Structure 1
Amino acid sequence: MTARCPSCGAPAAEGDRFCESCGTPLAAPPAPATHPEAPTVPAGASGAEAGGGVWRSSKAGDGPCGGCGGAVGDDGYCDACGARRTVGLDHAEDELPGVAAVTDRGLRKGRNEDAYAIGAAGGRRAVVVCDGVSSSPDSDTAATTAVVEAIGVLVGGGDIAGAYRAASDAVARLATVPVDAPACTFLAAVVEDGQATVGWVGDSRAYWVDAGGARCLTVDDSLAGQLAAAGVDAASLRLSAQAAALTRWLGADAPAGDPHLVTLRPEAGGVLVLASDGLTRYTTWTDAIDSTAGAPELARTLTTFARDAGGADNITVAAVPIDATAPDRGEARP
C-alpha cells in the first residue's frame, strides 16, 4: 500500500521525512487544533485599508517557522526543519462594524484550508468565504489568495462578479501545471442599502436567518446539489459519493463562467450567514442559531457547535445582521 501524508493525503515515498505537498513531518501526527476560544487576531494583523474602507482576513502573517522558529525561505518552507509555513491561521476571529467571521481548523484536519475576509466601507459590508479543495495541491493557498483578492475589489466598490474574476485569475496563477492545480470554492456577499447580494461557485453556502428559521440562498455546484434544488430526493436514488463532487470551482483547471448570483431585500430583520461545509455538513446546525445575537457571538457559537458535533472538517462562519427597521434598511446591529 502506498504511504500517504496524514495531513493532506498526498502520496509519500518510503524514507521521506516530510510531505512534498504540504510539508507535514511524516513521522509524527498533525498537531492538535487550536481551541475555538483562542484570542481574536489583533486588528490590522491580517488586513489593510482599501478604497476608503478597511478589511481583515484569516491570512497568516510572515515571520519565522511556527514549529521551530527557523527562517522560512522564499519557497515557503523552513530552512531548518523543512516544514511548510502555514498560509492561513488555524484559528482566527475578526469583526468590523456590522460583520464578523471565525475560522477554525477543526479536530481532524492537519491544517486549515478554509479562509475568510470581511470588509466595511461606508454603508457597505462585504464577506468572502473560500474552502480549499482538499484533493488539490496547496488548497489553503488557493483559498487565502482568493479571499484577499476578492475583498479588495468589494471594499473598493466593485461588484461580486468582478471580485470573482480577480480571485479566479489570482488562483489560476498559482498553478505550475495546467492540471491538478490549486483549487477552492468561492462565496461572497455584499450588504448595502438594506439589500444583500450573494455570489458563489462550489458548495460553500449562504443562509438568510430570521424569526421564521434558516433559508438557504445558494445551490451546491454538484449533482447532488442540483437534484436537491430540483426537489428530487437524492437519498432515494442511492447515489455514489461522487454525486457530491464539485462541478465548478476556482483554479487553473476550473470550468469557465461567472458566479451564480442572488439578491435578497428582506422585509424583516435577520442575519445573513455564510459558511463552509465544515458547519453545514451537520444538518442540525440551525438549532444553534440565536438570531438576536450580534455577529461576533453568532459566528463563535456556530463554530463551537461544529467542533462539538465532531469537527470533521475545517470550519468557517461569517455573519452579517441586517436591521430592516433601520432608516436606510441596511444598518447592522453591532
Structure 2
Amino acid sequence: TTAAYLTQRAPAALPAVSLGQTVTSNGNGATTSAQPIQVDVNVPQPTPALLGPKAAMTPFKTFVMALYAGAYIAFGGFLGLTVCNGAPAPPRVSSTVAASLATPSLLLSLTSHALCRSCRPGCVQPRLAKLIFALVFPVGLCMNTLHGTELFTGNTMKLPAAIYEGKTNLGGLIKNWFWSYSGNFVGSLLFVAAVVASGVLAQGALPWGQCFIRAILANWLVCVAVWNAGAASSLPGKVLGIWPPIAAFVAIGLEHSVANMFLIPLGIALGADLTFSQFIFQNLIPVTLGNIVGGLVFMGTASSIFYGSLGGAKKMSEAAAH
C-alpha cells in the first residue's frame, strides 16, 4: 500500500545538528561534518574605493539622486501617516501635559493633530500609532539603500571616510554635502506637493487628476520593487526586495492600472454604483497614463541618470563591447 511504501522509503532519524554543521546521509544512516553554513547574501561594503566616486559626481547627478533620496524618505513618512490615520482616538489631556509629551517626538505630534479625524486640542497620539509609524517608516531607507541615492545624513559618514583614505578632499565633501542636502530638501517639498495633489490624506470622491497622481506614485513603487528584485541573486532576496514597496503602495491607497482591471469591474459586477464607461474614462485612463509616467520618468529616466548614459556613463551596449 501507499502507507507501507512511504514507511519503507522514510529516511532514518537524523541527529541534532548545531549551527555550523552540515548533514550528509547515506544508506547506513546519517553523519555530520563540522563545516560552516554558506549563506547567499551580497552585502555591499563601503570601502574607500567606492566612497571616492561620490565626491567626483557632477552637481546635476548628485542633485537628482538626492531628490530621490528625499522622496524615498518621504515615502516612508507618507506610509506611516497613512496607516496611522485610522489609529484609535487619542485620550483627552491637559494642554500642558500634551506639550510635554509631544516635545521629544515632534513628527508624531504633528501626525496626531493633523491627521487624526477625531483629534481635539490637547490630545496626544497613542503609543500604538507611534509603534506602527516606527515599524513602517524604514521602507524609505530600504529604497534609498537599494537604489543607491544620495542621502545627506548617510553622506555625513561616507565622505569624511573617503577623505581619511585619500580618495577625495574637503572641496569634494562640501560639494557633495551641499548638493545632497539641497536635493533632499527639494525632493521632500516636491513630495509634499505630490501627496497633497493625490488626495490620499483627504476624504471624498477621487477626481481624474488625483487618480493620475496616485498612479504615478504607485508605479514608481512598483518599479522600485522590480529594481530590487533585479539586484538580488536569490529567491528569498527577490521576495524581500519586492515586498516593502508593494506593501507600501497598497497600504497608502495608490492606483495600479492592472489591479484596477480586476477590482473595479468586480465591484461593478457585485452591484457598485458605477458604470463601466465611468470606470474606463474616470479611472482606468488616468491611472494607465500615471503608471506610464511613474515608470518612464521616475524610474526609467532616473536610473539612466544614476548609472547610465544620461548621467555621463557609457551606454550598456558600449560597456559590454569593451
TM-score interval, normalised by the smaller of the two chains: under 0.3
Query: TM-score with structure 2 length normalisation?
Result: 0.25
Please identify which structure carries the higher strand content: 1
Query: TM-score with structure 1 length normalisation?
Result: 0.24
Structure ranking higher on relative contact order (CA contacts 8 Å, 6+ apart): 2
Please identify which structure carries the higher helix content: 2
